[in-house]
Amino acid sequence: MELKQFTYLFLLIASLSVPLALSFDQKVRYYQKLRYILPAILLTATVFWIWDVSFTTAKIWSFNTEYTLGISLKGMPIEEWLFFIVIPYSCVFIYEVLKVYLKDFGNTSFFKAFSFFLIGVFAMVSFFFRLQTYTFLTFLFSAAYLGITVIGNKFKSHMSHFYISYLVSLAPFIVVNGILTSLPVVEYNTIHILNIRFLNIPVEDFSYFFLMLLMVITIYEALKESRDYKHSEKRTKYFP
């Protein structure tokens, strides 16, 4: 096995190393929130696994086995399956750190208004480029999920921290995804995308990442605030 076959795996390990090492920081105490984080990640990952497998089968994107371990499931390398565990874990860590160190960041009304603007932008991109499958679906789902989140109004107090965490998370995302798309580890069928790229990353990936992060954080916050979930956790603790 050649060294370059560890490329994707190395990127995942690098992405996980910092949040894993700092999970026991006494201010953040990320490890204490794992009972909410892990179910949120698994629920979100299930959605994106189905999406990813479907797009791989439809040949909307494909994977270059020169940069993977060669272990695949449903046509996707094992690293791609792990991607939807590792990246959300790292991004929720960033979200929690920012909540601790920037407690009073932002104006919730402003970010709610900005969300409505973003919904409109996502919806228009989806409509005008509906012939490009990846463009159409990723912007459509982003508009729909953001719309449900804003209208539900339960996430309002967390909206500002979500946006700042998305912006901060873009830095490692651009590094990791930039490498994946430049080598390339992941190859896109240009028929299904706009082919507008930033550092070789298709613009659709930024919406895809936005949707994934929004989904995992909204589920995470919902679990933290759910009395039923907390009650079930207590029963599990005292009655194994």
User: Which residues, in sequence order, are CB contacts of 233 under 8 Å at separation 6+?
Assistant: 35
Q: What is the pTM of this model?
A: 0.90
Contact 229, 223 (CB under 8 A): yes
Burial class (CB in 10 A: 0-12, 13-18, 19+), 51: middle
Residue written as tokens 């560890």? Answer: 6
Predicted confidence pLDDT, tens digits, the chain (240 residues): 789 999 999 999 999 998 888 877 777 788 888 999 999 999 999 999 999 999 999 999 999 999 999 999 999 999 999 999 999 999 999 999 998 888 777 677 888 889 999 999 999 999 999 999 999 999 999 999 999 999 988 888 889 999 999 999 999 999 999 999 999 999 999 999 999 999 999 999 999 999 999 999 999 999 998 855 555 555 444 434
Contact 144, 192 (CB under 8 A): no
Q: Which residues of 75-88 are buried (b: 16+ CB within 10 A; e: fewer)?
A: ebbebbbbbbbbbb
* Residue 208, number of CB atoms within 10 A of its CB: 20
Contact 72, 78 (CB under 8 A): yes
